C-alpha cells in the first residue's frame, strides 16, 4: 500500500497541469481500492461551496459544472466536520443529496475524506461502490494519508488560479498573492524577466578521454573567461556597492584560484575524465558539502558554487549568456537568483528580485539590501515558467508577490510606492536628530552589526552606537579560530568607525543554528544544548583570547566598550564569566597597555534569566533582552522552523510580560536596560519597549530611521496608556490589531503599509 501511495504522489507531482494531476488521482485511487467511483470536490475560489473538479466512474460532462453549497450533501458534511465519513449505504443517510445528471444513483458505499492544508478545508476526496459495504480501516487510512499529501498540491493550485481555471469563468477574477519571505525591504512594480541558468550540470554525462592535455587547455580557457567576466561585473558594481559587498566577487575569484575548484577539476581530468564531466563532479561535491552545513548562511553559499560551475560550463560548451533585454523596470525572477545574475542587469533598471529558493540569509538578499532593491525570497509557489514578461508587484516587507495585478491593486501599490519615496526622503532629514518622544523622553537607537558592510549603512542612518556585535560572524568566515590579533583588528575597525559612541561586543555565541565548520558540535537538540556562554565557559582559552582582543581593540579610543554575555541561564555563569573578564583585563594591563575596564552585561534570552533578572542585574552593569531567543524559549517554538512560524510571536502576551519584568528588575537595581531582538526594530515593539522604560533599542540599520520617526512622533504618556491596555490582552492577534489601530489613529499609519491596515 505504501509503495502504491508513494507512486501516486510521485506521478501527481511529476505532472505539471492541475487538471491532469486530478485525473491521475481519481484513476489511481480507483485502481488501488478497487472502487468504481472516485471524485475530487474542491472549495470554489469564493469559498462559498464545492465544485466537482474530477471524477472517474460518474458522468464526465459535469466536471467543473456541478457545485454544492457548503452544507449540501455528504460532501458538505465531510467538509464541515473536517473528518472522514464512511457509510455502507449512503442513499439512506439523511444528508444524502440527489444531484440529477451526476449518475451516482447506483452507488451505495461511500467514503469521503477532507483535504486539509494548514487547518483549512480545501476539498473532499470521495470513493463510491455499488455493493453495500463499509470500507475497512486500512482503506480509510489509505485515503486519509493520500489526501494529507495532496493538500499541498491543491493549495498550490488555489494560489496559482488553477481552481478558477477548472471552474470556467463563473468567478470574478481575484488578485492572487504568492507568499515568500522578506529578503530586502521595499515595494516595487515591474516586468518579470526570468533568467534560467545558461547550462545544466545535470545534463552533462561522464566521458573518458585520452587527450588529457587538450581537456586541461579547454578548462584553462573557460576558467580564464569566467574570471574576466567576474572582474568586469565587479568593476561595473564598484560605483554602486560598498567595498565590503564587492568582496563577494573577490570570494568568487578566490574559488577560481588554481588550488581551489580548478585544482580539483584538473585532478579528475588527469584521471581520464573529460573537462565537463570533471567539472560536474567537483561542483556537485562542493555544493553537497555546503548544503549539508547546518548554518543557513553557509548553506546558501552552495548556490554561489553552483553559479560559478554553470558559468564555467557555459564556456566549456561555448554557450554565452543569451542577450536578454532588460526593461526599465526589471524584476529579476529565477529559481535560485545568484549574485552573478543580479550583476548582469544594469543597476538603474533593476527594480526587484524574486527568488524561488533561498532565504533572508542568502547572499542575494544581502546584496539586494545593499543596493536598496526590494527582494522576496523562497517564493516556492510562483509559477516561474509562466510569468516571463508579465507584470509583477513585489512587497519586500511582507515577502509577497502578485502576478498580473488588477488595475485597482496596481494603483493601490503605485500610491504606496510614491508614499515610500517621499517618506524615505523625509526620514533622511532625521539622521542627525536625537530620538526623543514628543514629551521629551530620550531613547537611544543603536544597531545590530556583524558584517563589516554594516558599518557604513549604520552610520548613514544615524546609529548612535552598536547595541549588538554578533562576533560569531567573523568567526564563521574562517577555517580556524581567529587569533587574538586577527580579532583585535576586526573589533578595532568597528570601534574606530563608531568612536566615541558605545560599542557592545557579544562574546562568541555559537551552537544552536550557528556552528563553526572547524568546531563541530553534533547534538540531538542543539537549541537546548551546548550554546553561547556554555561553550565559552567550557573553553576559557577561547573566551580569554576573545575578551583580551576586545579590550585591546579599545586602547587609545574614546569608545565606551561593553561586553555582553549570551544565553545566560544561571548566576554562576555570570560569576565565572566575570572572573575570566577580570583575569583578561589584568593580563592586558600587565602587558603595559592603558585602557579602561569594560562594562559587563547579560543577555536575557531564556525564561530562567527573566525570573532571576533582579539578581543578575545586581551582578552586572546592564541587561539586554534578546527577544529572538527569549520568544523561542518562552513559547517553545523553533525560531527557524517554517511549520511553526505562525506560533512564533514577540508580541505574545507572555513574552511582553516577561520583557516588562526584566525592565522592572533593571530599574530597581538602577542598571541600564536595552533590547536587541528584532522586536526593537518594529514600530509597535519600539513604542511598547519605550513605554516599559527600555533606554536602548538596538536593531538592524534598515529599520532605524522608521523607528526614530515613530518614537519622535508619540508621547511617552500615550505609549504607557497603550502598554497598560496591551498587558491586559489575551492573545497576540488582539495585541497586533490594537497596536496597528493606535498607530493609524496617531497619524503614524505610514509605517503600516495600507494593504495590511
Tell me the angle at which helices 296-316 and 261-270 cross, rounded to the nearest 10 degrees: 50
- CB-facing half-sphere around the CA of 95: CA atoms within 13 A: 17
Residue closer to Mg ion (CB basis): 490 or 510: 510
Question: From the candidates 363, 435, 652, 675, which is the catalytic residue?
Answer: 363
Nearer to Mg ion, 131 or 636 (CB): 636
Contact between 628 and ligand PEP (CB under 6 A)? Answer: yes
The entry of Mg ion, ligand PEP, none near residue 454 (CB within 5 to 8 angstroms by kind) is: none
- Assess 626 for contact with ligand PEP (CB under 6 A): yes
The string of DSSP codes covering 107-157 is --EEEEEEEEETTEEEEEEEEEESS-----HHHHHHHHHHHHHHHHHHHHH
Which of 572, 580, 504, 570 minimizes the C-alpha distance to 542? 580
**Cell numbers at residue 20, please?**
491532469
> Residue 513 Cβ, how far from ligand PEP at the closest point, in Å?
9
Query: Which of the choices ligand PEP, Mg ion, none does residue 470 contact, using the CB cut-off of 5 to 8 A by kind?
Result: ligand PEP
By CB under 6 A, residue 466 contacts ligand PEP? no
Nearest approach in angstroms of CB 448 to ligand PEP is 7
User: Which 576-605 residues touch ligand PEP, going by CB under 6 A?
Assistant: 605
CA atoms within 13 A on the CB side of 334: 18
User: Over the Cα atoms of the chain, what is R_g?
Assistant: 30
Q: How far is CA 244 from CA 30, 168, 237, 241, 361, in A?
A: 60, 53, 12, 8, 16
Q: How far is the CB of 5 from ligand PEP (least distance, A)?
A: 40
Q: Which stretch binds ligand PEP (CB under 6 A): 43-51, 216-224, 626-634, 662-670?
A: 626-634
| Residue 470 found at the interface with ligand PEP (CB under 6 A) | yes
Q: Of residues 668-697, which lie at the interface with ligand PEP (CB under 6 A)? A: 676-677
User: In this complex, which beta carbon is closest to ligand PEP, that of residue 633 or of residue 709?
Assistant: 633
755 catalytically annotated: no
468 binds, among Mg ion, ligand PEP, none (CB under 5 to 8 A by kind): ligand PEP
Q: How far is the CB of 676 from ligand PEP (least distance, A)?
A: 5
What's the order of all strands across the beta sheet hosting 37-43?
67-69, 49-56, 37-43, 120-129, 109-117, 85-87
CA 375 to chain centre: 11
Give the binding range for ligand PEP (CB under 6 A) out of 215-223, 296-304, 436-444, 621-629: 621-629
The distance of Cα 444 from the centroid of its chain, to the nearest Å, equals 28
Phi, psi of 42 (to 5 degrees): -120, 145
Asked if 627 interacts with ligand PEP (CB under 6 A), we say yes
Element (H, E) at 557: none
Q: Which is nearer to ligand PEP, 331 or 604 (CB)?
A: 604
Nearer CB in complex with ligand PEP: 261/542: 542
String of contacts with ligand PEP for each residue 178-217, x by CB under 6 A: ----------------------------------------
Catalytic member of 435, 559, 675, 676: 676
Select from Mg ion, ligand PEP, none the partner in contact with residue 677, using the beta carbon and a kind-dependent cut-off of 5 to 8 Å. ligand PEP
Map the footprint of ligand PEP across residues 482-541, applying CB under 6 A: 509
Q: Which residue has the cell 512564533?
A: 648
Q: How far is the CB of 605 from Mg ion (least distance, A)?
A: 5
627 binds, among Mg ion, ligand PEP, none (CB under 5 to 8 A by kind): ligand PEP
Q: What is the smallest separation between the CB atom of 632 and ligand PEP, expressed in angstroms?
A: 8
Interacting residue ranges for Mg ion, rule: CB under 5 A: 626, 629
Size of the site for ligand PEP (CB under 6 A): 10
676 binds, among Mg ion, ligand PEP, none (CB under 5 to 8 A by kind): ligand PEP
- Report which residue's Cβ sits closest to ligand PEP: 626
d(CA 376, CA 394): 7
In whole angstroms, give the CA distance from residue 232 to residue 251.
Answer: 15
Q: Strands (DSSP E) along 286-417, which ranges? A: 330-334, 350-355, 375-377, 391-395, 400-403
Whether 676 is a known active-site residue: answer yes
CA 429 from centre of chain: 31
Q: Which is nearer to Mg ion, 295 or 629 (CB)?
A: 629
Q: Rounded to whole angstroms, how far apart are CA atoms 393 and 3?
A: 42
| Residue 668 CB, nearest approach to ligand PEP (Å) | 23
Contact status, residue 543 vs residue 471, Cβ threshold 8 Å:
no
Angle at 168 between CA 164 and CA 169, to 5 degrees: 85
Task: State the residue number with the nearest CB to Mg ion.
Answer: 629
- Inter-residue contact 265 to 276 (CB < 8 Å): no
Cβ atoms of 174 and 45 within 8 Å: the answer is yes
Q: Which residues are catalytic?
A: 363, 676
The footprint of ligand PEP (CB under 6 A) covers 468, 470, 509, 605, 626-629, 676-677
Amino acid at each position: 500500500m505504501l509503495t502504491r501511495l508513494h507512486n501516486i504522489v510521485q506521478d501527481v507531482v511529476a505532472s505539471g497541469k492541475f487538471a491532469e494531476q486530478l485525473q491521475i488521482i481519481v484513476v489511481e485511487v480507483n485502481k488501488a481500492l478497487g472502487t468504481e467511483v472516485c471524485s475530487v470536490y474542491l472549495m470554489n475560489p469564493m469559498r462559498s461551496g464545492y465544485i466537482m473538479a474530477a471524477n472517474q466512474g460518474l458522468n464526465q460532462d459535469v466536471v467543473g459544472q456541478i457545485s454544492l453549497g457548503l452544507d449540501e450533501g455528504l460532501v458538505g458534511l465531510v467538509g464541515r466536520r473536517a473528518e472522514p465519513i464512511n457509510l455502507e449505504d449512503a442513499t439512506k443517510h439523511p444528508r444524502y443529496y440527489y444531484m440529477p445528471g451526476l449518475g451516482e444513483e447506483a452507488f451505495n458505499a461511500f467514503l469521503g475524506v477532507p483535504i486539509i492544508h494548514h487547518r483549512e478545508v480545501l476539498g473532499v476526496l470521495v470513493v463510491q461502490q455499488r455493493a453495500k459495504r463499509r470500507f475497512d480501516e486500512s482503506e480509510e487510512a489509505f485515503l486519509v494519508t493520500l489526501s494529507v499529501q495532496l493538500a499541498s498540491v491543491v493549495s498550490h493550485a488555489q494560489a496559482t488560479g488553477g481552481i478558477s481555471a477548472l471552474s470556467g469563468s463563473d468567478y470574478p477574477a481575484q488578485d492572487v498573492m504568492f507568499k515568500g519571505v522578506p529578503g530586502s525591504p521595499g515595494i516595487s512594480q515591474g516586468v518579470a524577466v526570468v533568467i534560467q541558468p545558461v547550462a545544466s550540470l545535470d545534463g552533462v554525462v561522464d566521458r573518458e578521454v585520452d587527450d588529457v592535455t587538450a581537456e586541461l587547455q579547454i578548462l584553462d580557457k573557460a576558467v580564464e573567461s569566467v574570471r574576466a567576466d567576474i572582474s568586469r561585473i565587479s568593476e561595473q558594481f564598484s560605483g554602486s556597492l560598498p567595498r565590503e559587498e564587492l568582496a563577494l566577487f573577490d570570494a568568487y575569484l578566490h574559488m577560481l584560484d588554481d588550488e581551489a575548484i580548478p585544482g580539483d577539476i584538473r585532478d579528475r581530468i588527469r584521471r581520464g575524465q573529460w573537462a565537463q564531466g570533471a567539472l560536474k563532479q567537483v561542483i556537485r561535491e562542493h555544493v553537497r558539502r555546503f548544503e549539508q552545513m547546518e548554518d543557513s548562511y553557509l548553506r546558501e553559499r552552495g548556490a554561489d558554487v553552483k553559479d560559478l560551475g554553470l558559468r564555467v560550463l557555459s564556456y566549456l560548451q561555448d554557450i554565452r549568456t543569451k542577450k536578454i533585454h532588460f526593461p526599465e523596470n526589471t524584476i529579476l525572477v529565477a529559481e535560485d537568483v545568484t549574485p552573478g545574475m543580479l550583476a548582469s542587469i544594469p543597476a538603474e533598471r533593476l527594480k526587484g528580485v524574486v527568488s524561488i529558493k533561498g532565504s533572508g540569509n542568502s547572499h542575494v538578499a544581502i546584496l539586494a539590501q545593499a543596493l536598496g532593491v526590494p527582494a522576496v525570497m523562497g517564493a516556492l509557489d510562483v509559477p516561474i515558467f509562466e510569468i516571463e514578461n508579465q507584470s509583477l508587484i513585489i512587497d519586500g516587507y511582507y515577502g509577497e508577490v502578485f502576478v498580473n495585478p488588477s488595475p485597482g491593486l496596481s494603483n493601490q501599490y503605485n500610491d504606496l510606492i510614491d508614499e515610500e519615496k517621499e517618506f524615505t526622503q523625509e526620514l533622511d532629514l532625521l539622521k542627525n536628530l536625537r530620538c526623543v518622544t514628543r514629551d521629551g523622553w530620550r531613547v537611544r537607537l543603536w544597531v545590530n552589526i556583524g558584517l563589516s558592510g554594516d558599518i557604513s549603512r549604520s552610520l548613514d542612518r544615524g546609529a548612535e552606537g552598536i547595541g549588538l556585535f554578533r562576533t560569531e560572524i567573523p568567526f564563521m568566515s574562517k577555517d580556524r579560530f581567529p587569533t587574538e590579533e586577527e580579532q583585535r583588528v576586526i573589533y578595532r575597525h568597528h570601534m574606530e568607525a563608531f568612536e566615541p559612541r558605545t560599542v557592545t561586543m557579544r562574546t562568541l555565541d555559537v551552537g544552536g543554528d550557528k556552528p563553526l565548520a572547524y568546531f563541530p558540535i553534533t547534538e540531538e537538540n542543539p537549541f537546548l544544548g551546548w550554546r553561547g556562554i556554555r561553550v565559552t565557559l567550557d573553553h576559557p582559552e577561547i573566551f580569554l583570547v576573545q575578551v583580551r582582543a576586545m579590550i585591546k581593540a579599545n586602547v587609545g579610543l574614546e569608545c565606551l566598550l561593553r561586553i555582553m554575555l549570551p544565553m545566560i541561564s544561571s548566576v554562576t555563569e555570570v560569576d565565572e564569566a566575570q572572573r575570566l573578564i577580570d583575569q583578561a583585563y589584568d593580563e592586558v594591563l600587565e602587558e603595559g597597555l592603558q585602557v579602561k575596564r569594560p562594562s559587563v552585561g547579560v543577555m536575557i534570552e531564556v525564561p530562567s534569566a527573566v525570573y532571576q533578572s533582579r539578581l543578575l542585574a545586581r551582578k552586572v552593569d546592564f541587561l539586554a533582552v534578546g527577544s529572538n531567543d527569549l520568544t523561542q524559549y518562552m513559547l517553545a517554538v523553533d525560531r527557524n522552523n517554517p511549520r511553526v512560524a505562525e506560533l512564533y510571536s514577540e508580541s505574545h502576551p507572555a513574552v511582553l510580560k516577561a520583557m516588562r519584568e526584566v525592565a522592572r528588575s533593571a530599574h530597581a537595581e538602577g542598571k541600564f536596560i536595552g533590547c536587541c531582538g528584532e522586536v526593537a526594530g518594529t514600530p509597535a515593539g519600539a513604542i511598547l519597549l519605550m513605554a516599559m522604560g527600555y533606554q536602548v533599542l538596538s536593531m538592524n540599520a534598515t529599520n532605524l530611521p522608521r523607528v526614530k520617526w515613530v518614537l519622535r512622533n508619540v508621547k511617552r504618556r500615550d505609549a504607557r496608556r497603550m502598554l497598560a491596555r496591551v498587558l491586559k490582552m489575551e492573545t497576540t492577534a488582539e495585541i497586533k490589531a490594537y497596536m496597528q489601530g493606535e498607530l493609524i489613529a496617531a497619524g503614524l499609519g505610514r509605517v503600516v503599509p495600507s494593504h495590511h491596515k
